C-alpha cells in the first residue's frame, strides 16, 4: 500500500484545477450535473402541465419502477468507469428473478442466496475472462447475455413455466412499504449511497478511475488492474441477481419474459448521467439522475395521452445523442486546454 502514496485524484469528480477558465468550470458542471438539471426541469414542467404527475401515487410508482434499473446502474457505472461494458445484466436480472421464485419454496434465505450465488458466479467468470485473458468486455458479456438467458430458459422449461413465489416473507421484500414507498426503492438508495462511498472514498474506487483513465499507467503505478476489473464485474453480477430477486418478490413470480434489452436502458441511464463511455470519469449521483430522467420521460409520455409510447424511445434516443455529442465536445475542450 505504501507504493501508492500519491493517489491520482479521480478525474470525473476532480474539482476544477485552480486557474481553470470559467467555460471549463461550466463544462465540468454540465458533465457532472447535466442530467440532474434536465431532470429537475422536466419534473418542474410536468408537475405544472399535468395534474396527476406530482401526485404521491404517481411519484411512488415512478420510484419503484425505476429502482430495478437503478440497482443495475450502480454496478454498470463502475464497469463503464473502468472503460468496460456489461451487456449481460438484463439476462442476469431475468435469471435472478426465476431462480429466486423457484428457490422461494425453501424459504426467503434461499430465494435471496441462490440468485446472488449464480449471478455472482457469472459475473466473476466474466470478470476473470476480461481481466486475465484480455478479451473484449463487449464480447465476453455478450456471451454472458446469451448464456444467462439460455440458463433461465433451461430452468423454466423454455420459459413456459412461471414459478410462483411461495414464501410470503420473501414476497414482502418486494411488496412491503415504508412511508408509502416500496422497499426496493430504499434498497436502491442505500446501494447508491454505499456505491458513492466506494467510488469516491476508497482505494478500490480510485483504482477504478485510474484503470479507465489509462490502464497502462495504472498498471505502472501499481494498481491491481486484474483484481479491480474482476471485482467490478462480480459487483454487476451480484447486483443483477439482487435486483432480479427483488423484482420476483414484487411480482410474486419468476416472469420469464423480463429483462430483454434492459441492459441498454441501464447503459443509457449511466451515460446520460455523465459517465464517459470511454472510461475514467463518472459519478453515481449522475447515474441516479440519468436513470430517473429515463423513467420520468416514460411517465410523462404516458401522461400525454395522445402520444404513443413509441415517442418515449424517440425522446430517450434524442437525449442520449445530445449527451454523447456534448461529452465529445467537452472532452475536446479539456484536451485542448
Partner 1 sequence: MVKPPRRGARLRAVLAASSVALLAVSGCAKSEDGGDAGKDQGGQGQQAVQSTAAAGPTCSLDKFGGEKFDLKSAVVGFSQSEKEANPFRIAETGSIKAEAGKIGISKLRATNAQSQFSKQISDVQQLIAQGAKALVIAPLNSDGWEPVLRQAAAKKIPIVTVDRKINGTPCQDYLTFIGSDFVEQGKRAADQMIKALDGKGKVAILLGAAGNNVTTERTQGFKQQIQAKAPGIQVTFEQTGEFAREKGQQVTEQLVQSHPDIDAIYAENDEMALGAVTALKGAGKKAGDVKIVSVDGTRAAVQGIVDGWIHAVIESNPRFGPLAFQTLQKFLDGEGIPEKVIISDREYDSANAKESLAGAY
Enumerate binding residues for partner 1 (CB under 8 A). 52, 55, 57-58, 61-62, 64-65, 68, 153, 156, 158-160, 162, 164, 171, 175, 247, 250-253, 255-258, 260-262, 298-299, 302-303, 305, 308-311, 313-314, 317-318, 320-322, 324-325, 328, 332, 336
| Residue 136 or 322 with smaller CB distance to partner 1 | 322
Place of cell 421464485: 101
Residue 170 or 233 having the CB closest to partner 1: 170
CA-based nearest residue to 95, from 116, 78, 81:
116
Residue 102 to residue 135: CA distance in whole angstroms = 34
The b-or-e profile of 257-273 (16+ CB within 10 A means b, else e) is ebbeebbebbbbbbbbb
Smallest distance, Å, CB 56 to partner 1?
A: 9
Q: How far is the CB of 147 from partner 1 (least distance, A)?
A: 18
In terms of CB distance, is 278 or 308 closer to partner 1?
308
Q: Which CB sits closer to partner 1, 113 or 164?
A: 164
Minimum CB separation of residue 133 from partner 1 in Å reads 31
Indicate the residue among 15 and 310 with the shorter CB distance to partner 1.
310
Residue 187 has which C-alpha cell? 434498497
- Give least dist CB 119 to partner 1, A: 18
State in angstroms the smallest separation of the CB of 227 from partner 1: 34
Least distance CB 171 / partner 1 (angstroms): 8
**Closest CB to partner 1 among residues 79, 171:** 171
Task: Quote the least distance from Cβ 331 to partner 1, whole Å.
Answer: 11
Nearer to partner 1, 77 or 299 (CB): 299
| Cα distances (Å, whole numbers) of residue 58 to 70, 82, 290 | 18, 36, 19
- Least distance from C-beta 162 to partner 1, angstroms? 4
Residue (169 or 303) nearer to partner 1, CB:
303
Amino acid at each position: 500500500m505504501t507504493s501508492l502514496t500519491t493517489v491520482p485524484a479521480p478525474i470525473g469528480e476532480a474539482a476544477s484545477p485552480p486557474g481553470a477558465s470559467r467555460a471549463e468550470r461550466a463544462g465540468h458542471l454540465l458533465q457532472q450535473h447535466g442530467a440532474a438539471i434536465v431532470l429537475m426541469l422536466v419534473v418542474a414542467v410536468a408537475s405544472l402541465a399535468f395534474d396527476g404527475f406530482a401526485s404521491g401515487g404517481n411519484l411512488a410508482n415512478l420510484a419503484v419502477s425505476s429502482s430495478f434499473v437503478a440497482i443495475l446502474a450502480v454496478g454498470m457505472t463502475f464497469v463503464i468507469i473502468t472503460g468496460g461494458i456489461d451487456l449481460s445484466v438484463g439476462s442476469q436480472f431475468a435469471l435472478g428473478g426465476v431462480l429466486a421464485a423457484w428457490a422461494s419454496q425453501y424459504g426467503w434465505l434461499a430465494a435471496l442466496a441462490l440468485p446472488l450465488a449464480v449471478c455472482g458466479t457469472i459475473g466473476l467468470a466474466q470478470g476473470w475472462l476480461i481481466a486475465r485473458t484480455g478479451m473484449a468486455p463487449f464480447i465476453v458479456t455478450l456471451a454472458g447475455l446469451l448464456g444467462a438467458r439460455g440458463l433461465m430458459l433451461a430452468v423454466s422449461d423454455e420459459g413456459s413455466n412461471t414459478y410462483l413465489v411461495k414464501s410470503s416473507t420473501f414476497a414482502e421484500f418486494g411488496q412491503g412499504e415504508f412511508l408509502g414507498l416500496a422497499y426496493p426503492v430504499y434498497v436502491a438508495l442505500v446501494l447508491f449511497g454505499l456505491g458513492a462511498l466506494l467510488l469516491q472514498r476508497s482505494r478500490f474506487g480510485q483504482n477504478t478511475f485510474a484503470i479507465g483513465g489509462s490502464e497502462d499507467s495504472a498498471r505502472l503505478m501499481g494498481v491491481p488492474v486484474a483484481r479491480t476489473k474482476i471485482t467490478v464485474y462480480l459487483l454487476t453480477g451480484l447486483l443483477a441477481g439482487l435486483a432480479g430477486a427483488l423484482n420476483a418478490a414484487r411480482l410474486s413470480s419468476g416472469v420469464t419474459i423480463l429483462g430483454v434489452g434492459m441492459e441498454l436502458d441501464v447503459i443509457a441511464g449511466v451515460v446520460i448521467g455523465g459517465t464517459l463511455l470511454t472510461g475514467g470519469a463518472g459519478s453515481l449521483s449522475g447515474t441516479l439522475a440519468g436513470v430517473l430522467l429515463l423513467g420520468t420521460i416514460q411517465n410523462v409520455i404516458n401522461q400525454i395521452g395522445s402520444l404513443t409510447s413509441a415517442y418515449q424511445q424517440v425522446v430517450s434516443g434524442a437525449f442520449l445523442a445530445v449527451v454523447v455529442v456534448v461529452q465529445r465536445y467537452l472532452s475536446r475542450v479539456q484536451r485542448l486546454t
